[in-house]
Amino acid sequence: MEPEKVLRMMQIIAGALIAGVLSFAGVASFIVFGNVRAAQPGGQVPAAGGSEIIMYMAMGFAVVGVVMSFVMSNLVSANGVKGVAKMAQDGTSTGPKELFGRLLGVAQAKMIIAMALVEGAAFFNLIAFMTTKSLIPFAIVAGLLAVMAIHFPTKMKLARWLEEQQRELS
Protein backbone atom coordinates (compact mmCIF):
# COMPACT_ATOMS: atom_id res chain seq x y z
CA MET A 1 0.00 0.00 0.00
CA GLU A 2 1.16 3.46 -0.79
CA PRO A 3 0.93 5.96 2.10
CA GLU A 4 -0.44 8.71 -0.16
CA LYS A 5 -3.34 6.54 -1.32
CA VAL A 6 -4.13 5.38 2.20
CA LEU A 7 -3.95 8.96 3.47
CA ARG A 8 -6.32 10.10 0.72
CA MET A 9 -8.73 7.30 1.61
CA MET A 10 -8.52 8.26 5.29
CA GLN A 11 -9.22 11.90 4.42
CA ILE A 12 -12.24 10.91 2.34
CA ILE A 13 -13.65 8.80 5.19
CA ALA A 14 -13.00 11.54 7.76
CA GLY A 15 -14.51 14.16 5.47
CA ALA A 16 -17.60 12.00 4.97
CA LEU A 17 -18.03 11.59 8.74
CA ILE A 18 -17.74 15.35 9.24
CA ALA A 19 -20.07 16.03 6.30
CA GLY A 20 -22.66 13.71 7.82
CA VAL A 21 -22.67 15.70 11.06
CA LEU A 22 -22.83 19.00 9.17
CA SER A 23 -25.68 17.74 6.96
CA PHE A 24 -27.71 16.55 9.93
CA ALA A 25 -26.97 19.83 11.72
CA GLY A 26 -28.47 21.63 8.73
CA VAL A 27 -31.57 19.45 8.80
CA ALA A 28 -31.90 19.85 12.58
CA SER A 29 -31.54 23.63 12.27
CA PHE A 30 -34.21 23.74 9.58
CA ILE A 31 -36.56 21.69 11.75
CA VAL A 32 -35.92 23.72 14.90
CA PHE A 33 -35.82 27.20 13.41
CA GLY A 34 -38.18 26.60 10.50
CA ASN A 35 -41.09 25.24 12.53
CA VAL A 36 -43.04 27.15 15.10
CA ARG A 37 -45.04 24.80 17.28
CA ALA A 38 -48.78 25.26 17.20
CA ALA A 39 -50.23 27.28 20.02
CA GLN A 40 -52.41 25.54 22.56
CA PRO A 41 -55.81 26.85 23.56
CA GLY A 42 -55.20 30.00 25.50
CA GLY A 43 -52.28 31.02 23.25
CA GLN A 44 -49.53 29.11 25.11
CA VAL A 45 -46.82 27.27 23.19
CA PRO A 46 -46.64 23.61 24.30
CA ALA A 47 -43.72 22.76 26.58
CA ALA A 48 -40.96 20.37 25.58
CA GLY A 49 -42.07 18.00 28.32
CA GLY A 50 -39.03 16.73 30.19
CA SER A 51 -36.71 16.62 27.19
CA GLU A 52 -34.00 18.38 29.20
CA ILE A 53 -32.85 14.98 30.47
CA ILE A 54 -31.99 14.11 26.88
CA MET A 55 -29.86 17.25 26.70
CA TYR A 56 -27.96 16.33 29.85
CA MET A 57 -27.48 12.77 28.64
CA ALA A 58 -26.18 14.08 25.31
CA MET A 59 -23.76 16.39 27.14
CA GLY A 60 -22.44 13.45 29.14
CA PHE A 61 -22.21 11.36 26.01
CA ALA A 62 -20.16 14.14 24.37
CA VAL A 63 -17.63 14.14 27.20
CA VAL A 64 -17.40 10.34 27.18
CA GLY A 65 -17.20 10.28 23.38
CA VAL A 66 -14.32 12.76 23.26
CA VAL A 67 -12.33 10.98 25.97
CA MET A 68 -13.00 7.56 24.45
CA SER A 69 -12.03 8.83 20.99
CA PHE A 70 -8.49 9.24 22.29
CA VAL A 71 -8.41 6.25 24.67
CA MET A 72 -10.02 3.63 22.41
CA SER A 73 -8.18 4.70 19.27
CA ASN A 74 -4.87 4.47 21.13
CA LEU A 75 -5.78 1.04 22.55
CA VAL A 76 -6.73 -0.25 19.12
CA SER A 77 -3.57 1.25 17.70
CA ALA A 78 -1.37 -0.34 20.38
CA ASN A 79 -2.97 -3.76 19.84
CA GLY A 80 -2.65 -3.45 16.07
CA VAL A 81 1.02 -2.49 16.29
CA LYS A 82 1.63 -5.41 18.67
CA GLY A 83 0.13 -7.69 16.03
CA VAL A 84 2.44 -6.25 13.39
CA ALA A 85 5.42 -6.63 15.74
CA LYS A 86 4.48 -10.25 16.38
CA MET A 87 4.32 -10.88 12.63
CA ALA A 88 7.78 -9.34 12.26
CA GLN A 89 9.23 -11.43 15.11
CA ASP A 90 7.61 -14.67 13.98
CA GLY A 91 8.64 -14.11 10.39
CA THR A 92 5.08 -14.69 9.19
CA SER A 93 5.02 -11.59 7.00
CA THR A 94 6.18 -11.51 3.41
CA GLY A 95 8.51 -8.61 4.17
CA PRO A 96 8.81 -4.98 5.23
CA LYS A 97 6.34 -3.85 2.58
CA GLU A 98 3.59 -6.02 4.08
CA LEU A 99 4.41 -4.84 7.60
CA PHE A 100 4.28 -1.22 6.45
CA GLY A 101 0.93 -1.86 4.75
CA ARG A 102 -0.43 -3.38 7.95
CA LEU A 103 0.74 -0.33 9.91
CA LEU A 104 -1.17 1.85 7.45
CA GLY A 105 -4.25 -0.28 8.09
CA VAL A 106 -3.83 0.21 11.84
CA ALA A 107 -3.55 3.97 11.33
CA GLN A 108 -6.76 3.93 9.30
CA ALA A 109 -8.64 1.88 11.92
CA LYS A 110 -7.38 4.23 14.65
CA MET A 111 -8.72 7.27 12.81
CA ILE A 112 -12.09 5.69 11.98
CA ILE A 113 -12.69 4.64 15.59
CA ALA A 114 -11.74 8.06 16.95
CA MET A 115 -13.92 9.92 14.46
CA ALA A 116 -16.89 7.56 14.82
CA LEU A 117 -17.02 7.94 18.59
CA VAL A 118 -17.13 11.71 18.30
CA GLU A 119 -19.61 11.53 15.41
CA GLY A 120 -22.01 9.46 17.52
CA ALA A 121 -21.86 12.05 20.30
CA ALA A 122 -22.49 14.81 17.75
CA PHE A 123 -25.59 13.07 16.39
CA PHE A 124 -26.93 12.52 19.90
CA ASN A 125 -26.44 16.22 20.66
CA LEU A 126 -28.22 17.17 17.44
CA ILE A 127 -31.17 15.02 18.50
CA ALA A 128 -31.09 16.78 21.89
CA PHE A 129 -31.05 20.11 20.03
CA MET A 130 -34.12 19.07 18.05
CA THR A 131 -36.04 17.87 21.10
CA THR A 132 -35.15 20.69 23.51
CA LYS A 133 -34.70 23.54 21.04
CA SER A 134 -31.84 24.67 23.29
CA LEU A 135 -28.70 26.03 21.65
CA ILE A 136 -26.48 24.31 24.23
CA PRO A 137 -26.37 20.94 22.40
CA PHE A 138 -25.84 22.80 19.13
CA ALA A 139 -22.81 24.57 20.62
CA ILE A 140 -21.53 21.22 21.88
CA VAL A 141 -21.77 19.90 18.32
CA ALA A 142 -19.51 22.76 17.21
CA GLY A 143 -16.98 21.66 19.82
CA LEU A 144 -17.30 18.04 18.72
CA LEU A 145 -16.65 19.09 15.12
CA ALA A 146 -13.47 20.77 16.37
CA VAL A 147 -12.42 17.47 17.98
CA MET A 148 -13.15 15.71 14.68
CA ALA A 149 -10.90 18.26 12.98
CA ILE A 150 -8.16 17.37 15.48
CA HIS A 151 -8.50 13.71 14.47
CA PHE A 152 -8.53 14.60 10.74
CA PRO A 153 -5.60 12.83 9.05
CA THR A 154 -2.85 14.91 7.49
CA LYS A 155 0.37 13.92 5.77
CA MET A 156 2.41 15.20 8.72
CA LYS A 157 0.33 13.38 11.37
CA LEU A 158 0.46 10.10 9.44
CA ALA A 159 4.20 10.40 8.81
CA ARG A 160 4.88 11.13 12.49
CA TRP A 161 2.71 8.22 13.64
CA LEU A 162 4.36 5.82 11.17
CA GLU A 163 7.84 6.95 12.23
CA GLU A 164 6.94 6.44 15.86
CA GLN A 165 5.59 2.95 15.22
CA GLN A 166 8.54 1.94 13.06
CA ARG A 167 10.92 3.05 15.82
CA GLU A 168 9.05 0.87 18.29
CA LEU A 169 9.18 -2.08 15.90
CA SER A 170 12.94 -1.74 15.38
So what's the pLDDT on residue 52? Answer: 86
So what's the pLDDT on residue 43? Answer: 53
- The predicted model scores a pTM of 0.86
Closest Cα to residue 118, out of 56, 57, 64? 64
So what's the pLDDT on residue 91? Answer: 79
Closest Cα to residue 147, out of 165, 126, 109, 120? 120
Regions of the chain with pLDDT less than 50: 38-39, 44-47
Judge contact between 24 and 103, C-beta under 8 A. no
Burial per residue of 86-100, b for 16 or more beta-carbon CB atoms within 10 angstroms, e otherwise: ebbeeeebeeeeebb
So what's the pLDDT on residue 87? Answer: 86
Q: C-alpha dihedral over 150, 155, 160, 166, to 10 degrees?
A: 130
Integer angstrom CA distances of residue 128 from 32, 41, 88: 11, 27, 48
